C-alpha cells in the first residue's frame, strides 16, 4: 500500500491510498482543477479513483466532494451527517457507520473510527492491506481509548500537529478562536500529538507524517522536535511533515520516497 498526501492544511486536504487493486482518496478539500492537477503529478486521473472517503463536512476536508461527483461521477463514502451537510448526490454516495469495516477491494479495507471535533461527526480512517495497517487522523482536539486501540501498532500514522501552544496563545487570534482551537473539539497541539504518539507507537510503526500544520501558529521544525521529544526511545523510523502544496512524499512499508519517484511505482501498477 502506498500513501501520498496531495496536500494538508486549512486550504485543502486529500490523501491518496493505492494498492494493486484499488485507489482511494481520504478527504477532498480541493477544487476539481486542483485535484486533477495534483493527481496528474502521479500519472493518475480522477476517474481512476474507486472511492473518496470523507472524514467530516468542513470545507477543507469535504468541500470539493460534490464538485467531483458532478464532474467525474466519483463515488463517495461518508457518514450520514457529512453527506447531508455537503449535499452529496445520493446515487453516488454510500453512507457508512463508525467502526463498520468497508471492503474496497480484495486487498484494501477501511475502518472509520470516531474522533472528537466540534460541530462535526468526524472520523479517523484505518486502512488495512495484507496484514499491514495505516492510520489517517486529523481535526481532533483530544483522543479516546477507542482511537488508541485501533491506531496502536499501525505501520504508518498520519496525524495532525496543528499548532504550537505558545504561538497560538501569544498570536493575533481572538480569545474565542484560541479557545476553540485548543479545546477538546478543536485541534491537536504539537505537545498533544507527541503524547498521543507515545501511546500508539510500537516496533511495528515504521513511519509518521505530521499533517495539517497551521501556517500562522506552527512551524515544521517546532512540530517535529516536540513530537520527537515524546517518542524518543520508542520510535526510530521515518518522520515527515506534510504541508499545503503537494504531493510530497509517498510512504510504503517502512520507507519513504519522494513523490517524483512515485511515478515509477504508479506506472508499474497500471
Does the pLDDT at position 263 exceed 90? no
pLDDT given at position 255: 41
- Enter the C-alpha cell of residue 182: 485548543
Task: Determine, yes or no, domain membership for 269.
Answer: no
| Cut 0.95: pTM above it | no
Cα 190 from Cα 214, distance rounded (Å): 11
pLDDT tens-digit series, residues 157-172:
999 999 999 999 999 9
pLDDT given at position 111: 98
- Enter the C-alpha cell of residue 55: 472524514
pLDDT given at position 119: 79
* Coil/strand/helix, residue 230: helix
pLDDT tens-digit series, residues 111-164:
999 998 887 899 999 999 988 899 999 999 999 999 999 999 999 999 999 999
pLDDT tens-digit series, residues 29-39:
999 999 999 99
Q: Which CATH number characterizes residue 106's domain?
A: 3.60.15.10
Q: Containing domain of residue 191, as a range?
A: 2-261
Task: Please state, rounded to an integer, the average pLDDT across all residues of the chain.
Answer: 92
Q: Identify the weakest region by mean pLDDT among 51-60, 157-166, 171-180, 248-257.
A: 248-257
Under 8 Å between Cβ of 44 and 259: no
239 beta partners = 208
What count of Cα atoms within 13 Å lies in the side-chain half-sphere of residue 137?
A: 33
pLDDT given at position 269: 40
Percent of the chain with pLDDT over 90: 86
pLDDT given at position 266: 46
pLDDT tens-digit series, residues 83-99:
999 999 999 999 999 99
Task: Determine, yes or no, domain membership for 267.
Answer: no
Cα 149 from Cα 133, distance rounded (Å): 13
pLDDT band at 246 (very low <50, low <70, confident <90, very high): confident
Task: Determine, yes or no, domain membership for 235.
Answer: yes
H or E stretch including 258?
strand 256-258
pLDDT given at position 82: 97
pLDDT given at position 118: 81
Domain count, the chain: 1
Residues whose CB falls within 8 Å of the CB of residue 179, separated by 6 or more in sequence, listed in order:
none
Task: Determine, yes or no, domain membership for 266.
Answer: no
Task: Determine, yes or no, domain membership for 268.
Answer: no
Amino acid at each position: 500500500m502506498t500513501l501520498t498526501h496531495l496536500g494538508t492544511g486549512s486550504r485543502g486536504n486529500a490523501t491518496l491510498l493505492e494498492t494493486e487493486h484499488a485507489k482511494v482518496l481520504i478527504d477532498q478539500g480541493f477544487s476539481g482543477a486542483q485535484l486533477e492537477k495534483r493527481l496528474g503529478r502521479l500519472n493518475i486521473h480522477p476517474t481512476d479513483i474507486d472511492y473518496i472517503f470523507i472524514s467530516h463536512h468542513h470545507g477543507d476536508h469535504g468541500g470539493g466532494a460534490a464538485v467531483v461527483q458532478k464532474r467525474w461521477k466519483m463515488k463517495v463514502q461518508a457518514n450520514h451527517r457529512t453527506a447531508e451537510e455537503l449535499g452529496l448526490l445520493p446515487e453516488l454516495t454510500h453512507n457508512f457507520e463508525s467502526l463498520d469495516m468497508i471492503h474496497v477491494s480484495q486487498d484494501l479495507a477501511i475502518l472509520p473510527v470516531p474522533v472528537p471535533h466540534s460541530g462535526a461527526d468526524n472520523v479517523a480512517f484505518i486502512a488495512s492491506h495484507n496484514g499491514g495497517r495505516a492510520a489517517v487522523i486529523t481535526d481532533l482536539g483530544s483522543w479516546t481509548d477507542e482511537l488508541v486501540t485501533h491506531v496502536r501498532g499501525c505501520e504508518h500514522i498520519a496525524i495532525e500537529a496543528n499548532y504550537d501552544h505558545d504561538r497560538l496563545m501569544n498570536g493575533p487570534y481572538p480569545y474565542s478562536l484560541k479557545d476553540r482551537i485548543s479545546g477538546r473539539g478543536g485541534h491537536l497541539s504539537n505537545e498533544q500529538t507527541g503524547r498521543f504518539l507515545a501511546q500508539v507507537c510500537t516496533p511495528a510503526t515504521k513511519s509518521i507524517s505530521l499533517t495539517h500544520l497551521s501556517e500562522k501558529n506552527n512551524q515544521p521544525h517546532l512540530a517535529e522536535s516536540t513530537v520527537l521529544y515524546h517518542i524518543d526511545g520508542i520510535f526510530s523510523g521515518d518522520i515527515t511533515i506534510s504541508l499545503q502544496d503537494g504531493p510530497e512524499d509517498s510512504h510504503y512499508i517502512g520507507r519513504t520516497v519522494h513523490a517524483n519517484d512515485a511515478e515509477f511505482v504508479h506506472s508499474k501498477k497500471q
